[in-house]
Structure formats: C-alpha cells, structure tokens
C-alpha cells in the first residue's frame, strides 16, 4: 500500500489515532498537520500495514529514449490519459495510469488513443484491412508481436506469450493492439 492509498483508506482513523496517541495532551489545536508523518508511521506499525517503499533513483537514458519518453511526459503534463501495459496479463491489457511512475521500459507506456476509428464489422473487413499492412497478419502490444492465426465473425485468434490460443474481439483489437507498422486495428470513421 502506498502512503496515498493509506490516507484514502484510513484518513479518519489516522487522525483519531494521532489525537489519542501523538498530539500533546490530545489537544486538536496542536495539529496543523505537523504530526501527520509521525501519526502515519505509528498507525502503520500498530495496525501491521505494509507500505511500499518509495525510493528516488536516477533514471539514465539515451537521447533516443528521451525522444520516446518526452511526448508521454508532455501529454501527462497537459492532462491527457497515459496508459501502461499490464505485464502480468498474457495478452497485455493497457490500463489508465493515475500516477506516472516511469522506469526504463518506455515501450510499456502510451498516450491513450482518441479513436477516430471503429472496430471491424466482420471478417471480410478485418482481412481487407490486414492486406494493407506488412508483415501480413502480425499485430503488436506492449513490445510483443503476435500472429493472427484465424479470424471469425467478430473476433480473431492469436497465440499469446504463454503459448495459449486467445480469442480477441474486434473492439479489443482496436483498444489494445495495433498493426506492427503502428496503424490502428480498425476502420477510419466517416466524418
């Protein structure tokens, strides 16, 4: 649990704990937020809550990596939604990020796409669009490439990173994957 989550979940309890155990004579007029860290630490120990250790480390990067990361940081500063890939999911789901914690694996982040595309309506439309992108039948997500092994009425099948065959709806393709050339897996909407 982070300190932020601790406050979200236990704010009142921490303040009550502080009032009974930390503040001089339990007088709330002494508070003024100057005892918060001490109260948090004591509360965490007393309740046996495990906190994540937040440590500041250096981030070494090349100019090429900085060029990849810069648009993500700029978009984050402008209030756009940033997404990170879920590396525990064999198909790599993109999830919205509330607090940007950058590591050196820059391909794990992206600016959430604003879709001017729609999912494929059927197999024929999917295959027609696939013909336009090389290598044929290959898609990517979070640094991994997947080969589409079959296409159905409203979905495709791929083999995930664990070797299992997975069915992906056309809507999932649009929101989570792209062709290896960077194009979205969908059809451009008429404006």
Q: What is the pLDDT of residue 103?
A: 65
Q: What is the pLDDT of residue 9?
A: 82
Q: Is the pLDDT of residue 25 over 60?
A: no
Task: Give CA separation, 123 vs 21, 79, 95, 183, in Å.
Answer: 66, 37, 27, 18
- Residues facing residue 84 across a β-bridge: 95, 109
Q: Is the pLDDT of residue 28 over 90?
A: no
- Residues 112 and 83: beta-carbon distance below 8 Å: yes
Percent of all residues in the chain with a pLDDT value above 90, rounded to a whole number:
23
Q: What is the pLDDT of residue 139?
A: 94
Which band of pLDDT confidence, cut at 50, 70 and 90, is reported for residue 58? low
């Amino acid at each position: 649990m982070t300190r932020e989550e601790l406050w979200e979940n236990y704010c009142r309890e921490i303040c009550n704990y502080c009032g009974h155990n930390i503040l001089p004579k339990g007088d709330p007029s002494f508070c003024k937020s100057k005892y918060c860290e001490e109260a948090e630490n004591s509360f965490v120990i007393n309740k046996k809550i495990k906190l994540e250790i937040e440590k500041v480390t250096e981030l070494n990067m090349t100019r090429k990596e900085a060029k990849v990361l810069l648009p993500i940081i700029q978009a984050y500063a402008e209030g756009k939604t940033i997404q990170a890939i879920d590396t525990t999911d064999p198909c790599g789901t993109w999830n919205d990020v509330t607090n940007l914690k950058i590591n050196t694996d820059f391909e794990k982040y992206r600016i959430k796409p604003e879709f001017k595309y729609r999912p494929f309506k059927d197999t024929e439309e999917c295959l027609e669009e696939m013909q336009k992108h090389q290598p044929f039948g290959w898609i990517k997500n979070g640094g991994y490439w997947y080969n589409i092994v079959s296409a159905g009425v409203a979905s495709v099948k791929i083999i995930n990173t664990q070797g299992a065959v997975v069915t992906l709806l056309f809507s999932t393709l649009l929101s989570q994957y792209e062709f290896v050339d960077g194009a979205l897996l969908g059809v451009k909407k008429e404006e």
